[in-house]
Chain A
Amino acid sequence: MRSINILRSVFVIAIAAAINSSCTEKINLKLNNSEPKVVIEGNISDEPGPYFVGVTKSRLYSDSNILVVVPSALVIISDDAGNADTLTETAFAGLYQTNFIQGTIGRTYKLSVTAEGTTYVSICKMQAPVDIDSIVLSTETEFNGDLDNEADIEVRDPLGVANYYRVVSYTNGKRSTGFSVHRDRLWDGKLRSFNVPDDDYEVGDTLRVDLWSIDEHVYTYFDQFDQNQNNFGAPAAPANPDAIFTPATLGYFSAHSVKSKTVIIP
């Protein structure tokens, strides 16, 4: 899928370069309006707490980008060892933090959020972590001829288990954007390299890469964002990722283990 989209865009660009015509332009497009929905973002990991849960609302696409928060929600994280922690709202309205619960590998966690009269529930198992073997720095020639710094991490995938990964990077503490997820369906047990998101670093920068071992449905959730990308010729039927809360609402709850590696760019 990815490769053909790249091929297609390369072809389109090639044609464009050949006849010097293809271009982009802003247009007026009438969009339909949707009802605001509750958005939940919850994370728990094997790193020390507290952990945070955000409760917000969706907006019309044409609205400004000011976050609409949902304050005074009842937020509880519990596990299969009998712990239950009712989260406390922080100084930022709509953002809630745990009090005592500690993420432990192998346990199953349940997030329950009661907001605007509805209780949303999601369950997630914390998977075993996988180490980052190394961070590999290189320089690539971009399509436009420019040189570009690249970073990859090498990961030795455990054989015989289905692994799902999310890669998050921090350049001088600034967190990467995008939802970079992978699964080992095609390379179980092999040494594999993943591109580090937002890797336009410079000499002297501190680059930290976190490898999250995530649950399968969390992988599927983030992967569906990727499927919606409007690549050339591919806007077939974008849809919202399948909800992982019951009843259905937007957002995710991820229990994951984390391995980390840091380099200072030489």
Chain B
Amino acid sequence: MRQNVLLVALCFLFSVSSFSQNKSASEKITISGTIKDGKTGEEMIGATIMLKDTIGIGAVTNAYGFYSLTIPVSKNQLLVRYIGYQDFSITLDSLKNQTISVSLLPASKTLNEVEIKARKSDENITTAQVSAIKLDMKQLEKIPVLFGEKDILKTIQLLPGVQPASEGNSGFYVRGSSNDQNLVLLDEAPVYNASHLLGFFSVFNNDAIKDATLYKGNMPAEYGGRLASVLDIKMKEGNSKEYVIGGGIGLISSRLNIEGPIVKDKGSFIVTGRRTYADLFLKLSKNQALKKSVLYFYDLNLKANYRIGKRDRIFLSGYFGQDKFGFQDRFSIVYGNATATLRWNHIFSDKLFSNTSFIYNEFNYTIGINVANIDVKSQIRDFSLKEDLDYYLNSKNKLKFGFLTTFHTIVPGQVVSSDTSRIGNIFLAKNYGWENNVYAQHEISLLNKVNINYGVRLSVFSQVGPSKYFKFPGDGVIDTFQLKLGQFNKTYFNAEPRVSVSYNFFKNMSFKAAYSRNVQNLHQLSATTSSAPTDRWIMTSNNTKPQIVDQVSAGYFVNFHKDMFELSVEGYYKWMQNQIDYVNGATLRANETVESQLLYGVGRAYGAEFFFKKKEGKFTGWVSYTIARSERKFVGVNNTTWFPSRYDRTHDLSIVLMYDITPRINVSATWVYYTGLAATFASGKYFLDGQIVPYYGPRNEDRFPAYHRLDIGATFVLKKRKTWEHDLNLSVYNLYARKNAYSIDLNADKSNGIVFAEKTYLFRIVPSITYNFKFSFSPIKKKAK
């Protein structure tokens, strides 16, 4: 397999080089530059620049709004497009290599004098990328959510192949994989725990987010490190034209954001903050214990950028968020993420774009158990250096290559006790890991009908000293060995080939297929259904091998009625190796030989995803349906046969509807239905010490009842002016008060011994209201370009 891929790769590279030599004989020019939003000055990701009268010659802007397009000299008419914005035409007056930067204006409904109309996107058809969804951040605002907190992680759960980890949870499962197999990136920095309040909210403040793309596996070679998915979130750069203050006051939290130019059109900044006040509800309680408890979180997002000359630009972005939760003065838990990314964009030439990033990220928690006078502290921290180069060979060929080197540090739960404590200090050895990746990928389009994106990523991982390591030769024997600074534990090399191909039958219809291998070297140990912030991370080691997935996907994509409707059908199959489970009664915490508690096995997941979307008009929305299976096999569990995993949901249906009644009022509704999660309930009982105890059958042989829920929402724009706007958002979560089971317990009636099942449900009807406002300091003076 790998040889074949290499062979194909070589063939393509060869054809490209011969191709480009031919080109240099004929006359070509290269145009490059950036495409921006004319109103805010934000760079646009995924905007298209193309030849007006020749189909198939065009370029798409990268993550920094940069494009490079090589065209024949005979053409001089260009068109720039972005969904929701007015088209922009360019006539080249000189036929030489040049830089052209464009600012697009939003398509306005009041603009009826000209024929300019917002164009719809057909990117879903034309690119080779399969299993990827770019989220429409504007649409996200309209979708009703729990407590009125707009949440990107909950919105992606309405897409095919993505399921919530549990009720109201921001954790998600992609195509039958666990939550820790999702790589969540915020401005390139991995976020290890993307949830607040034990999972009910995500750490992403919508006000700070510019763009988000979800890859459900089969991601391009530039991404790696997790098996199941990549959610690539990019923060806003900040308005470079005027100062804007916005915010919102909601039931659970309030938000405030400030953005504006540092130097107009040269640099800008954005600061967004959010804090919840759920603990105020506790104060209202009559319960003394609740009154004395603490429960809140906050988030801070910061970003600044500055353009140094025409070729260089520097970005600094950061996130800091923390949860604080205390029950009386007995327990407390404080946890949070911090990320920082320093980036340098450099344009080497009109064909070569470079981005260099220094990335820092950490997640930490401290649990205070005051009754025992101890603190438990844990941290996971990475330092990374990343280089990505985009090389625009010509309008048909694009190369991307780079490297990522990361130094990981994991501090497992250290127990720090005070002098009066009856528990001693427990210092588990810190773990250090060094991970290196290089990748190269090539995007090529042939005959305007076939697009191919292939590449390979190489990953090398080793734990490094100084630290203490363990071997488990069997029969409960534990051998310890020490590594000094500079010494390496076992090193793993993995090649991750990726290829995706699309064939456009017609302009609006394509068939796509993809294969990819992904490798994961950091593993989260989570023994509960919904992830907890204290779930421990471990590294690939001499005992734990890298997790590997091989995924094939194929799909049929069609747009019709002038790209107003979008329909897709995708199928996938995943083979997973070195999956992790736990021995019965595993001790995962404060255990330095935690790896002795693990079982390693294999997994498989397959399914079909159906997606129908109406993208334009007053009435928009989508229906997504997934039928799938996800299974695992571990030696000794269920007699070493396949059993349904915790991520197995047979049916998953989401319906999202949005309707603009007037330009000022829109209403929305979502309905979700999915098969209940696989669980193990008792199948028998017996007496032990005079008590009835349950007898369990095979792993995950039972099911929770099916989950379904209807939410509705409405947004009323109270006022909308150029400098000042505000709106009111109302939503109702779980409109028909379905009592969805969060957990199920089996109990026996003590008087007559009759067994009954009892479910705990979290929410009945939850109404919420949010007020949002925004005002700008200086009116727009400049027109596009």
Contacts and interface: CB of A to CB of B under 8 A. Distances in A.
Contacts of A63: 685
Given A18-B278, A141-B289, A145-B288, A41 B689 contact: yes
A145 B684 CA distance: 37
B53 interface: no
Interface string A139-157: 0011111000000000000
Nearest to A179: B689
B684 A17 contact: no
B654 to A, nearest CB: 23
A122 to B, nearest CB: 14
B367 interface: yes
Given A23-B761, A227-B585, A31 B295 contact: no
A34 B681 CA distance: 12
B422 A192 contact: yes
Interface in A195-235: 220, 223-225, 227-228, 230-235
A4 B687 contact: no
Contacts of B760: 12, 22-24, 232
B748 A24 contact: no
Contacts of B287: 17, 143-145
Contacts of A62: 755
B655 interface: no
B423 A186 contact: yes
Interface in A3-53: 3-4, 6-8, 10-19, 21-29, 31-34, 36-37, 39, 41
A28 B758 CA distance: 8
A89 to B, nearest CB: 18
A239 B680 contact: yes
Contacts of A22: 742, 760-763
A91 interface: no
A32 B530 contact: no
A190 interface: yes
Given A6-B331, A144-B289, A61 B684 contact: yes
Contact of A26 (B198, B295, B757, B764): B757
B646 A236 contact: yes
A7 B197 CA distance: 10
A1 interface: yes
A14 B285 CA distance: 9
A17 B761 contact: no
A24 B758 contact: yes
A100 B764 CA distance: 63
Nearest to B292: A141
Contacts of A15: 200, 278, 762
A14 B293 contact: yes
Nearest to A62: B755
A247 interface: no
B585 A242 contact: yes
Interface residues of B, number: 88
B332 to A, nearest CB: 9
Interface in B718-748: 739, 741-746, 748
B529 A234 contact: yes
Contacts of A61: 682-685, 694-695, 746, 755
A57 interface: yes
B369 A3 contact: yes
Contact of B585 (A26, A187, A220): A220
B753 A64 contact: yes
Contact of A17 (B290, B691, B763): B290
B427 interface: no
A179 B690 CA distance: 11
Given A14-B282, A64-B753, A236-B528, A7 B685 contact: no
Contact of B761 (A10, A25, A190, A227): A25
Interface in B551-584: 581-582, 584
B528 A234 contact: yes
B198 A8 contact: yes
A172 interface: no
B96 interface: no
Contact of B759 (A12, A27, A39, A228): A27
B669 to A, nearest CB: 21
A66 to B, nearest CB: 8
B647 to A, nearest CB: 12
A193 B422 contact: yes
Interface in A68-114: none
A67 B757 CA distance: 21
A145 B289 contact: yes
A259 interface: no
A14 B290 contact: yes
B185 interface: no
A91 to B, nearest CB: 18
Contact of A232 (B527, B695, B743): B743
Residue among A29, A39, A63 having the largest count of chain B Cβ atoms under 10 Å: A29
29 contacts: A6-B327, A6-B331, A14-B293, A18-B282, A27-B741, A29-B702, A34-B697, A61-B682, A61-B685, A64-B752, A65-B692, A177-B689, A177-B690, A177-B691, A178-B691, A186-B424, A190-B424, A224-B585, A232-B742, A233-B166, A234-B529, A235-B529, A235-B680, A237-B582, A238-B696, A239-B696, A240-B695, A242-B584, A251-B686
Q: 7 closest pairs, A vs B, by CB?
A: A65-B753, A18-B281, A29-B757, A224-B585, A58-B686, A34-B684, A34-B683
